[in-house]
Amino acid sequence: MAPQDKIKAEGNSFTGKIWKDGNFIPTEFYIQDRKIREGRNKDAIKAAYIIPPFSDPHIHGGWGFSFQDGEFEPLENKLKSKGIFFAIPTLDNNDIEELRRIAALFRDYKTRTPNSIFPFLRVEGPFISLGKRGFQRKDCILKASLSNIDALLKIEEIKLFTFAPEIKGAETLVRKALELGKIPSIGHSKAGFQNFLKFYKLGVRHLTHYPNAMSGFHHRKIGLTGAGLFVDDLQLEIIADGIHSSFDFISLVLQTKGPVFSIISDMIPPAYSEQDKFDGRRIIKNGKKMTAKDGTIAGGSTSVPEQAEWLCHKGVKPENIVRLACLNTLHIFGRPSPPISNGNEATFLVLDNNMKVKNIYYKGEKIPGSSR
């Protein structure tokens, strides 16, 4: 976001239901010296809700931009203009040399942008199941040989990767990854529940775009979908767009586990654009649904802020939406959320009754938003 695009908000006052200490509390405050001060300074801007920024821990691109192409700066600016201040660039499954190339671009970007909202990279693959690859490239699925494992894990910028527990060499992969502080995430997998438990005992806790591209639930074989419901301390991410998962399923997870998971976009570059290709492959658009030519869902097209609106429309409590869309991701990755309280940095979102973003404030300045 260019400095000239920001608008000084010094002295602006706000009133409404403010997220504080895990609840919405009616409060008044104003901005002074880029910080929050309790009380009213002048006529207050009325808001239905004032919340911390959104997070998106699984996004490939959007608005015609792609992380695969190293377009980190325009994507960071776009995400900030939507009220997203923490996001993890997610790479499609690619060969190791290509992953190294993108990682080098990211390393250069982080050097130039030390306060970037992007903490590290993640990749869907390359040690995944051929039968559950979804839209991931078949030619880039690798065997978990020692040389391939070491090659992936040596890419410092990639901290999180998706793997299938059932493939040969998966245990070695996970042990080495955890020793290096990497995050192995189960996904694109046919693994059964017992196989899952083996890796759970090793320390694996994260599941990629649950429950898509993983073994389903049956009353005699509960699979990875059942594991996500059954085991308490898992880190689940769900694409809450009504396409990847029905609202009934999302409600089931909420009723079974509570608001403990994260919502993600899984957005690909054609989302919110006229593009019809991703990574050289044709995308078929049918409303919000994007598929390959064979009907396989190709990725997401609904941002986290828009998902928050949809969940609100479906009757999910605003308190739960804040946890799902803003806070749980930060907790999973050990990141603090800026408190909206006296003396703290003025970074927050102003929402209407439908939880649609009306205004965005970042470090005491207003950031102009834009249409989806």
For the residues of 38-104, what is the DSSP string, one character each? ES-SSSEEEEEEEEPPEEEEEE-EETTEEGGGT-HHHHHHHHHHTTEEEEEEEEPS--HHHHHHHHH
Q: What is the pLDDT of residue 200?
A: 98
> Are 82 and 133 in contact, with CB atoms under 8 Å apart?
no
State the chain's mean pLDDT as an integer: 93
What's the average model confidence in pLDDT over 233-249? 96
**56-70, 203-217, 306-320, 333-347: which range is least confident on average?**
333-347
Q: Return the closest-CA partner of residue 160 out of 271, 262, 250, 64.
A: 262
DSSP label at residue 25: E
pLDDT of 263 higher than 70: yes
Report, as an integer, the average pLDDT of 315-319. 97
Whether the CB-CB separation of 69 and 50 falls below 8 Å is answered with no
Lowest-confidence pick of 73-77, 159-163, 277-281: 277-281
Rounded Cα distance, 343 and 294, in Å: 55
* CB < 8 Å & 24+ apart, contacts of 101-110: 102/67, 102/68, 102/70, 103/155, 103/156, 103/157, 103/158, 105/70, 105/72, 106/70, 106/72, 106/157, 107/156, 107/157, 109/70, 109/72, 109/73, 110/157
Query: How many Å apart are CA 275 and CA 282, to the nearest integer?
Result: 9
Q: Burial, 177: exposed, middle or buried (Cβ in 10 Å; 0-12, 13-18, 19+)?
A: buried
Query: What is d(CA 367, CA 308) in angstroms, rounded to the nearest whole number?
Result: 20
Q: What pLDDT shows up at residue 330?
A: 97
pLDDT digits 0-9 by tens, 5-23: 667 677 788 999 999 989 9
Strand partners, 36: 31
Phi, psi of 124 (to 5 degrees): -90, 90
pLDDT at 6: 66
* Structural domains in the chain plus CATH codes: 3-50+338-367 (2.30.40.10), 54-332 (3.20.20.140)
Confidence of residue 137 (pLDDT cuts 50, 70, 90): confident
Classify strands 13-20 and 23-32 as parallel, antiparallel or unpaired: antiparallel
What letters, b where the CB count within 10 A reaches 16 and e where it falls short, cover 215-229? bebeeeebbbbbbbb
Q: Which residues contact 236 (CB under 8 A, 6 or more apart)?
A: 207, 210, 228, 253, 257, 260, 261, 262
| Per-residue pLDDT tens digits for 200-227 | 999 999 999 999 999 999 999 999 999 9
36-45, 96-105, 143-152, range with the lowest pLDDT: 36-45
* Cis previous bond, 114, omega within 30: no
Secondary structure, 3-state, 129-189: CHHHCCCCCHHHCCCCCHHHHHHHHCCCCEEEEEECCCCCCHHHHHHHHHHCCCEEEECCE
Separation CA 202–CA 196 (nearest Å): 10
Work out the pLDDT band at 371, boundaries 50, 70, 90: very low
pLDDT at 3: 43
Neighbours of 72 (CB within 10 A): 23
Q: pLDDT tens-digit profile of 94-134?
A: 899 999 999 999 999 999 999 999 999 999 989 999 888 87
